[in-house]
Amino acid sequence: MRCHIHMSTTTKTEGLVIERKFTQNGQDGFDGVEFELRDALIQSNSGKVVFEQKNVEVPKSWSQTATNIVASKYFHGAMGTPERESSVKPLIGRVVDTISEAGQEAGYFESSESANNFKADLTFLLVDQYAAFNSPVWFNVGCHKLEPENKAGSWSWYPNSKRVAYGEHGYQTPQCSACFINSVQDTMESILTLVKTEGMLFKWGSGTGTNLSVIRGSNEQLSGGGTASGPLSFMRGFDAFAGVIKSGGKTRRAAKMVILDADHPDIEEFIAAKGKEEKKAQALMREGYDGNGPDSEAYASIFFQNANNSVRVTDEFVQAAEDGRDWELKARAGGAVTETVKAADILRQIAEETWSCGDPGMQFDTTINKWHTSKASGRINASNPCSEYMFLDDSACNLASFNLLKFLKPNGEFDVDRFTAAVRLLIIAQDILVDLSGYPTERLRETRMIFAPLVLAMPISALC
């Protein structure tokens, strides 16, 4: 859920009082950080150069891996053009400047001094690898200064009129959240709309998950005669678009999650889908086709390689599997039983396919909805591609992460005060991004404003 930020009550003007915890007065966050020039180079397993940029300016303390990731993924602009970024300073600068300016315009800060303190300390946290925002922030925030002519459209918040509306403002309303959950209905219009929505999310660097269980099974009847295509047929189309749309316009692949409930008529075909395609790839490799990586000849020739697949199960299903009882598969239209199978057989199929090719995963619907923090607003049907974000359909979540080792004192104790200050800074920044951001659909924008989930992750490495 969106965090409620404590507003200062000690001054006459509303706003947050920010005191410096990581920098001294007069410092800008880069002061005291030693920089150097080095080359960023990424090679394939065969030694082929995948990416190279010379004379990249990074902090001397950064690893070569961090250098390669930032240069190849986050630097904006085409290689060889004046717009191409080549230093971490303008990269972090455009992000922090944009967030700080947006915060000031929205009245977040008690004074210009607090705004400057926020800006300096946030800069320090990012440049010294205490913390990092999710990738879409680095892809998009502040790029309106580099591409002012960009007029890409999105649904965004208009504070003066206090309404959500569509506008063509390009990077001025950037896509900032990494994790999305989308809904779909059992109509051709809705399915094709989802294709467009996913495509725009991938374009700006985000990932998305959808539960396709509302779509009729492949043996169900259509109102005009004939039988339905079933979710797997549409999954082929979704998969193809995800494969060709590079996330954020970079070499990063699109991230996608597909979910199907365990009582869907096509659940067995769904469970076996990736394993069957994997066998095709293995056969192609035996015939001499290259199978080195997802873009190789073998794997580019098969389906279902651009998404994580998960089966959604209830406690009732798991209990039926334990008891050796039957499990009913039900039509989407009307709910009639289409087939009766053994729950244990379904569970065995999931286990075998996961052992074979890594998918499908499992999501435990009963527990997920038991832990739901907003039950009155609807149930949880799906997740983002990584499954750490479980929330309402048509919602989005902004992530940031901490490097916890940075908060260790020389004696090995954890510095709670500095960590608390860092959490406050990151949450304020993420909260500012909520209203700054643009979204591909009106529903996503509205849900994001109402709930505005924010996540602070705590891996060892802050570079995600």
Q: What pLDDT score does 245 carry?
A: 82
Tens digits of residue pLDDT in 395-447: 999 999 999 999 999 999 999 999 999 999 999 999 999 999 999 999 998 89
The reply to whether 93 and 211 lie within a common domain is no
Whether 386 is catalytic: yes
Q: Which of 343, 358, 391 is the last residue of a domain?
A: 391
Q: What pLDDT score does 3 carry?
A: 40
The reply to whether 377 and 410 lie within a common domain is no
Check which CATH number belongs to the domain holding 304 and give it: 3.20.70.20
The reply to whether 231 and 374 lie within a common domain is yes
Q: Is residue 20 included in any domain, yes or no?
A: no
Phi-psi region of 205 (alpha: psi -120 to 50; beta: other; left: phi over 0): left
Helices and strands in the chain: count of H runs, count of E runs: 13, 16
Q: What is the rounded average pLDDT of the residues 207-219?
A: 96
User: How many Å apart are CA 245 and CA 205, to the nearest integer?
Assistant: 10
The reply to whether 381 and 400 lie within a common domain is no
Q: Does residue 24 carry a pLDDT above 70?
A: yes
The chain-wide mean pLDDT, for the chain, equals: 91
| Stated pTM of the model | 0.90
Whether 83 is catalytic: no
User: How many Å apart are CA 186 and CA 331, to the nearest integer?
Assistant: 12
Question: Of 297, 386, 446, 464, which residue is the catalytic one?
Answer: 386
Q: Is residue 212 included in any domain, yes or no?
A: yes
The reply to whether 208 and 291 lie within a common domain is yes
The reply to whether 188 and 318 lie within a common domain is yes
Question: Of 140, 182, 306, 384, which residue is the catalytic one?
Answer: 384
Q: What pLDDT score does 371 carry?
A: 97
Locus of tokens 């240069």: 71
Q: Does residue 74 carry a pLDDT above 80?
A: yes
Q: Which of 391, 418, 436 is the last residue of a domain?
A: 391
The reply to whether 41 and 113 lie within a common domain is yes
The reply to whether 353 and 427 lie within a common domain is no
Q: Is residue 444 included in any domain, yes or no?
A: yes
Report long-range pairs for 416-425 (Cβ below 8 Å, ≥24 apart): 417/21, 418/21, 418/22, 421/21, 421/22, 421/121, 422/21, 422/22, 422/125, 422/130, 422/131, 423/456, 425/18, 425/118, 425/121, 425/122, 425/125
Whether 388 is catalytic: yes
Does 252 or 35 have the greater pLDDT score? 35
Tens digits of residue pLDDT in 317-330: 999 999 999 999 99
Is 155 within 8 Å of 442 (Cβ atoms)?
yes
Q: Is residue 168 included in any domain, yes or no?
A: no
Q: Is residue 464 included in any domain, yes or no?
A: no
The reply to whether 362 and 421 lie within a common domain is no
Q: What pLDDT score does 118 carry?
A: 98
Cis peptide before 360 (omega within 30 of 0): yes
Q: Is residue 109 included in any domain, yes or no?
A: yes
Q: Is residue 177 included in any domain, yes or no?
A: no
Is 384 within 8 Å of 455 (Cβ atoms)?
no
What CA–CA distances, in Å, run from 173 to 163, 170, 353, 399?
A: 14, 6, 42, 18
Q: Does residue 5 carry a pLDDT above 80?
A: no
Strand partners, 205: none
Question: Of 19, 352, 388, 442, which residue is the catalytic one?
Answer: 388
**Total domains in the fold of the chain:** 2
The reply to whether 151 and 188 lie within a common domain is no
Range of the domain at 101: 35-160+396-457
Q: Does residue 231 carry a pLDDT above 50?
A: yes
Give every CB contact of residue 3 below 8 A, 6+ residues apart in sequence.
Answer: 427, 431, 454
Tens digits of residue pLDDT in 271-312: 999 999 999 999 999 999 998 888 888 998 999 998 999 999
The reply to whether 337 and 355 lie within a common domain is yes
